[in-house]
Structure 1
């Protein structure tokens, strides 16, 4: 009789242990929801408070980043633009447009790009194209959906199954 109760406790422990990956994905989904909402709020804040201007790519800057086994070259763009007061500003992008979209073509020197800049601090700017401005948020949303499906869908199924039994 005692061995039957012991086997039942071991089976219950094993069933709870199998839920751990789903709980981890659910926690990741919650954290990704916070990050996703902050990214959306940040982009909408930029659109609301920033001015839009056309800039010209004046130079390609190559930044060398150390990796575990060698170096990686990262292309940055030096973009010049005028603000609404007529002053020239230089904006160095964090990366080119191919960081999130490997099929995108990096802008060439002399090419004109749209960008957002804050009127009070015109040196702070962001490229306004989809690849640079919205694509990172879209990718966050995809990862959020993926982790939510892997985390909450199985937990919801198990909860509904137990609730109906």
Structure 2
């Protein structure tokens, strides 16, 4: 992991609710961390351009994620992939024997997921016991399964565009579509 657990506790708050105005005391309480450690991590995340400290006139200061900044988006993507690795989801997806391609797409691939986001998984082949509605860390897996290239060709282009922009856990784009050069 990039950060020890307590830093991850703070990051998770900003990743799950990127537009929320977080007050210091609320961060301390939700992250279950001392004020001193929270201050340390927040300074570090401000320096890394992941979080911003805002002090409005006459109002309580707050922290908010810099959700449009590349540092934030990259850190969030790595955090999600690490969570998937640590919980065994990535290994499970890679070990699907009769799946030619497995792709994470949607909000997790774009790094714009939040508390209510599901996890979109595209499988070309046999998903085995992985099914639509499976729960991973409190999030629903939306499993889109296609057994043949003919089925993939009949999928609406918007879905395929999202899939090819996703993270290929197994296989590559050539397994899904014809790529002209």
Give the TM interval when normalised to the shorter protein. under 0.3
TM-score (normalizing by structure 1): 0.22
Name the structure, 1 or 2, with higher relative contact order (CA <8 Å, separation 6+).
Answer: 1
Question: Radius of gyration: which is bigger?
Answer: 1
Where is the helix percentage greater, Structure 1 or Structure 2? 1
TM-score (normalizing by structure 2): 0.21
Where is the strand percentage greater, Structure 1 or Structure 2? 1
